[in-house]
């Protein structure tokens, strides 16, 4: 009875004693024969063994030790911005095997890990503590910042913690892919963007993962990227100082009323010399403006309208428009002032088409062989605002004119 009573005071971690309390003599004999285990030896963290929320821990033991279970502890290392008196959460799991996986952890964090071996005689001393680290946080694809030009797309993403990431993996597939067609991927990406060759007039799902030595993050949420329309970014470095560009890069504003020596203009990203590129523009509160393209050999801010490097539409009066092609100017009078102008650059048919995007009325067609990449160009000659509409499929009326 004395032996049994003393066992009841032992912590619950040693409940294995209950299997041996039927005979106090037998228990005493076994306790004398089996030694308390030696401290386990933690293995260093293996490369690529972690995810954003899990770490895998392995250890080894002495062959002579009799062990019934292991108690594994995990405690988060304090962060640089963490207060000294803040509580640090500690995890503990009991396992039979000589490894375990801690789940529901935080990404980009360091954790202290140690382990103790348990048998019916007692519990070993703790192992030496080791530092483990989770994989980076999951990045986010910025669909609004991705650009699309016919058969290519530049995919851009934003990391949660750039310092914790070494490379990225970009994965993609067609939205309606045929059976048997899986994900395609690019690995070892150092930067935060990648230009990918795609099929025109298709929809794609893109995913990105962040990678460091310890593991790979979860797959990001899917971003739907379509090559059915053109999407480019304005090159802020080409913008005239008098112009203001909105944060999303779709609105150009000109507020100054003083006389300038040059036309305030800005260029878009280069469009490749293939396929079709279409975008629309709405100009408000501005009676004089220019819309068109200029060659890549003339990327200065004031290049629109100079020499033979620009092809554009010039509005200077409510219903009077001029179109410039390689230095030749054509004048057109329209019956309806276009509130929204569509521009279609068609390399296959060697033409640059301007149209009233709302009514479908054709304004002008410039016939020219564009042998090099060009930049969309926008100029406001007087105060006003210009809004870009991107990622739009060319209307059938524009395709077949």
Domain with residue 56: its CATH number is: 2.60.40.10
| Res 302: pLDDT | 46
Q: What are phi and psi of 162, to 5 degrees?
A: -60, -35
| Res 86: pLDDT | 59
State how far the Cα of 279 lies from the Cα of 283, in Å rounded to an integer.
13
| In a shared domain, residues 257 and 309 | yes
237 three-class SS: helix
Structure tokens at 364: 């002008």
Residue 72 CA, chain-centre distance (Å), reads 36
- Structure confidence by residue, pLDDT tens digits, 89-134: 788 999 999 999 999 999 999 999 999 999 999 999 999 999 999 9
- Structure confidence by residue, pLDDT tens digits, 204-244: 999 999 999 999 999 999 999 999 999 999 999 999 999 99
Cα radius of gyration rounded to whole Å, the chain: 34
Whether the model clears a pTM of 0.75, i.e. scores above it, the answer is yes
| In a shared domain, residues 148 and 121 | no
| Res 396: pLDDT | 83
Residue 108: name the closest of 73, 71, 81 by CA: 81
Whether 92 is in a domain gets the answer yes
Whether 351 is in a domain gets the answer yes
| Res 207: pLDDT | 98
Q: What are phi and psi of 99, to 5 degrees?
A: -160, 165
Cβ neighbours of residue 25 closer than 8 Å, sequence gap 6 or more? none
Residue 331: name the closest of 318, 315, 343, 342 by CA: 315
Domain with residue 381: its CATH number is: 2.60.120.920
Query: Which of the listed residues 227, 248, 272 is the one where a domain comes to its end?
Result: 227
Whether 284 is in a domain gets the answer yes
Query: Which of the listed residues 192, 227, 262 is the one where a domain comes to its end?
Result: 227
pLDDT category at 8 given cuts 50, 70, 90 is very low
Query: Which of the listed residues 211, 227, 243 is the one where a domain comes to its end?
Result: 227
Neighbours of 371 (CB within 10 A): 8
Q: Residue 112's domain spans which residues? A: 41-79+88-133
Domains in the chain: how many in total?
Answer: 3
91 three-class SS: strand
pLDDT category at 327 given cuts 50, 70, 90 is confident
Whether 9 is in a domain gets the answer no
| In a shared domain, residues 277 and 312 | yes
| In a shared domain, residues 96 and 241 | no
| In a shared domain, residues 126 and 174 | no
pLDDT category at 28 given cuts 50, 70, 90 is low
Position with higher pLDDT, 89 vs 386: 386
The neighbouring-strand residues paired with 185 are 171
Over pLDDT 90: what percentage of the chain?
Answer: 70
pLDDT category at 304 given cuts 50, 70, 90 is low
State the DSSP string of 239-295.
Answer: S-TTEEE-TTS-EEEE---S--SS--EEEBPPBPSSSEEEEEEEEES-SSEEEEEEE
The neighbouring-strand residues paired with 114 are 73
- Structure confidence by residue, pLDDT tens digits, 336-359: 889 899 999 999 999 999 999 999
| In a shared domain, residues 176 and 210 | yes
| In a shared domain, residues 265 and 324 | yes
Structure tokens at 360: 């479908």
Whether 6 is in a domain gets the answer no
| In a shared domain, residues 333 and 348 | yes
| In a shared domain, residues 208 and 262 | no
| In a shared domain, residues 368 and 308 | yes
| In a shared domain, residues 112 and 193 | no
Long-range contacts of 360-364 (CB under 8 A, 24+ apart): 360/395, 360/397, 360/398, 361/334, 361/336, 362/401, 363/313, 363/321, 363/323, 363/332, 363/334, 363/338, 364/313, 364/321, 364/323, 364/330, 364/332
What mean pLDDT is predicted for residues 30-45? 86
Whether 5 is in a domain gets the answer no
| In a shared domain, residues 195 and 313 | no
- Structure confidence by residue, pLDDT tens digits, 139-186: 999 999 999 999 999 999 999 889 999 999 999 999 998 888 889 999
17 three-class SS: helix
> What does each C-alpha distance from 38 to 48, 60, 65, 69, 70 come to in angstroms?
29, 11, 7, 13, 12
Local structure of residue 347 (DSSP, 8 states): T
Whether 376 is in a domain gets the answer yes
Whether 381 is in a domain gets the answer yes
């Amino acid at each position: 009875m004395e032996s049994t009573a003393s066992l009841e005071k032992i912590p619950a971690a040693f409940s294995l004693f209950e299997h041996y309390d039927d005979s106090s003599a037998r228990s005493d004999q076994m306790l004398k024969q089996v030694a308390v285990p030696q401290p386990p030896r933690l293995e260093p963290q293996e490369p690529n063994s972690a995810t954003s929320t899990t770490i895998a821990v392995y250890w080894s033991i002495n062959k002579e030790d009799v062990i019934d279970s292991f108690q594994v502890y995990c405690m988060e290392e304090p962060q640089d911005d963490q207060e000294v008196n803040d509580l640090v959460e500690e995890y503990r799991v009991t396992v039979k095997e000589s490894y375990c996986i801690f789940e529901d952890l935080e990404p980009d964090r360091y954790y202290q890990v140690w382990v103790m071996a348990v048998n019916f005689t007692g519990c070993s001393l703790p192992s030496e503590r080791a530092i483990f680290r989770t994989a980076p946080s999951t990045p986010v694809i910025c669909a609004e910042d991705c650009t699309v030009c016919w058969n290519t797309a530049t995919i851009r993403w934003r990391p949660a913690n750039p310092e914790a990431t070494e490379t990225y993996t970009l994965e993609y597939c067609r939205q309606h892919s045929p059976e048997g067609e899986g994900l395609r991927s690019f690995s070892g990406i150092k930067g935060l963007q990648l230009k990918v060759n795609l099929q025109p007039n298709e929809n794609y799902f893109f995913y990105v993962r962040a990678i460091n030595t310890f593991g790979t993050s979860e797959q990001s949420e899917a971003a739907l990227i379509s090559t059915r329309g053109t999407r480019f970014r304005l090159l802020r470095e080409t913008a005239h100082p008098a112009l203001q560009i909105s944060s999303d890069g779709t609105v150009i504003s000109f507020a100054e009323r003083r006389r300038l020596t040059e036309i305030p203009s800005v260029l878009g990203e280069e469009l490749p010399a293939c396929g079709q590129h279409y975008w629309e523009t709405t100009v408000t509160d501005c009676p004089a403006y220019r819309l068109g393209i200029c060659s890549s050999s003339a990327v200065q801010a004031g290049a629109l309208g100079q020499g033979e490097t620009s092809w554009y539409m010039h509005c200077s009066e409510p219903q009077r428009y001029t179109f410039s092609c390689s230095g030749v100017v054509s004048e057109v009078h329209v019956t309806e002032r276009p509130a929204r102008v569509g521009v279609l650059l068609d390399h296959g048919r060697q033409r640059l088409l301007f149209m009233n995007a709302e009514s479908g009325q054709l304004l002008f067609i410039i016939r020219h062989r564009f042998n090099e990449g060009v930049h969309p160009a926008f100029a406001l000659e007087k105060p006003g605002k210009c809004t870009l509409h991107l990622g739009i499929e060319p209307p059938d009326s524009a395709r077949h004119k």
